[in-house]
Structure 1
């Protein structure tokens, strides 16, 4: 009985916290700002910038809510949402069946694929070339899932997991890993921001995957509002303008 009571109390607290936040005209959002061009910290101003950041702020405008965004660790995003600390998450989060068991997702707002990043001249250009190699990934991403599947099948030597994309890339640069499996737009943005020529990416190496905004399963009302706002932004051409701003040159 105590366990049931605790679960009920937890659910009530989560719903209450969410209602209070939205009732005060605030949408509390969490992200992990190491996923350029979707979310990153401006080195000069400290502002959170990127495609996702522009999109969630425009969603807030449509809903008439002030958007407050916190930058937290990637691995803490879903736990923080489930604890009621935030109303939603936007962080280039791929919609997967496993994640859908824990949270609800908005309608997809971005389509992506995975790629392999390796040293220029390494001869690594696809997943098959990773045989016997050590693969670096950001922990609990679809790149991690793909590399883990390769490891379980005996196709790679090992998987090194890092908290950030930058740390995974650095592992390849210093020779601690042979390649990174990562989302293609993020690889392109990283290489554009670090044009040393030391690394290259292979192009698409996976099926398409889709990003969604994560919402607590207890908050169907907010989920519907976010989906409605996304549809409005697309109908008004605002979504296309944001997309062109961040990906028009890629």
Structure 2
């Protein structure tokens, strides 16, 4: 009887220890249906042409790119859409394995994340209403109102311009909201990545927006992973290299943009 009780207690202790080892601080990666490792990537699904929803599916340069990398490297991908401002904290909290969301590689972000090799050169541009004739560059921002999306490099740039020229900065959770603020005349200008706003103007002439002045910087996008996750970082870099060599990278870019920037 004592042996039986000892065996039952031992089994319960083993289950308790096992359960304690599955806390929320573990990485999001699991095994997929095929037995291949599955990684969860965060994205901002309101950011065409890099990621957006169409006919109930997530599409765009970033979505196609991460799926193509996964195919080359033999892993599975789960896409988790969320507000951009929450993506980097979610990677840090190990709720995501990585993020692909038009994320500019900056020195500040490199302190808390690791990145793949750059996969796209973007750069920020000033955007105004089509009928705006008073703003032609950053020197015209004195006393103006800038609409910007939270958590972006554009927001950092807007803060700097606001201080430099005495402009007011208004913050929004997504790109459509900040564009709407300019369209409605409630803000004078917004700041957006050049390829994103170029795409929007091309596919939505009714937006009545235009780009003014030169690009403000030359940001490069990278795929973000948890600091120290060299295994995933190496897979991403290996996959990117293969896609550029076999022509698939150019095919993906040209599906959404007429020329590679």
- Does residue 135 (structure 1) correspond to residue 135 (structure 2)? The answer is no
How far 1:91 sits from its partner (Å)?
0.2
Instruction: Find the partner of 1:55 among 43, 52, 65.
Output: 65
Report how far residue 176 of structure 1 moved: 1.2
The superposition leaves residues 191-239 of structure 1 with CA deviations (integer Å, 9 ceiling, x where unpaired) of: 2232126221125331211000000013111111111111111111111
What is the aligned counterpart of 1:219 among 229, 232, 257?
A: 229
Say whether residues 1:244 and 2:254 are aligned partners: yes
> Residue 184 of structure 1 contacts residue 203 of structure 1 at CA under 8 Å; is this kept in 2?
no
Per-residue CA deviations over 1:114-139 (Å, capped at 9, x if unaligned) read 11111123122211122210001111
> Does the CA contact (< 8 Å) of 1:135 and 1:156 recur in 2?
no
Residue 122 of structure 1 corresponds to 132
Q: Which runs of 5+ in 2 are unaligned?
A: 1-19
Greater than 2 Å deviation, 4+ residue runs:
16-25
**Could you tell me how far apart the structure 2 residues matched to 1:83 and 1:197 are?**
37
Structure 1: 5+ residue stretches without partners: 1-8
- Residue 104 (str. 1) matches residue 148 (str. 2): no
Query: Whole-Å Cα distance in 2 between the matches of residues 197 and 211 of structure 1?
Result: 26
Compute the displacement of 1:19 (Å): 5.6
Structure 2 residue 115 is the aligned partner of structure 1 residue 77: no
**RMSD of the alignment, in Å?**
2.1
d(CA) in 2 for partners of 1:225 and 1:133?
A: 45
Match of residue 210, structure 1, among 212, 216, 220: 220
CA distance in 1, matches of 2:102, 2:203: 19
Shift of 1:24: 4.7
Provide the rounded CA distance (Å) in 2 between the counterparts of 1:192 and 1:48.
20
Name the SS for the 2:211 alignment partner. strand
Distance (Å, rounded) in 1 between the aligned partners of 2:189 and 2:72? 41
Once the two structures are superposed, what CA deviation does each residue of 1:44-75 show, in whole Å capped at 9, x if it has no partner? x2211100011000011011112110111111
C-alpha distance in structure 1 between counterparts of 2:233 and 2:205, whole Å:
40
Q: Does 1:179 align with 2:189?
A: yes
Deviation at 1:107, TM superposition (A): 0.3
Residue in structure 2 matched with residue 157 of structure 1 by the alignment: 167
Measured in 2, the distance between the counterparts of 1:32 and 1:19 equals 19
The Cα of 1:156 is off from its aligned counterpart by: 3.6
Q: 1: CA distance between counterparts of 2:240 and 2:184?
A: 42
Q: Distance in 1 between matches of 2:249 and 2:236?
A: 13
Once the two structures are superposed, what CA deviation does each residue of 1:14-64 show, in whole Å capped at 9, x if it has no partner?
A: 5x535645875212111011111000111xx22111000110000110111
Is 175-184 or 114-123 further displaced after alignment?
A: 114-123
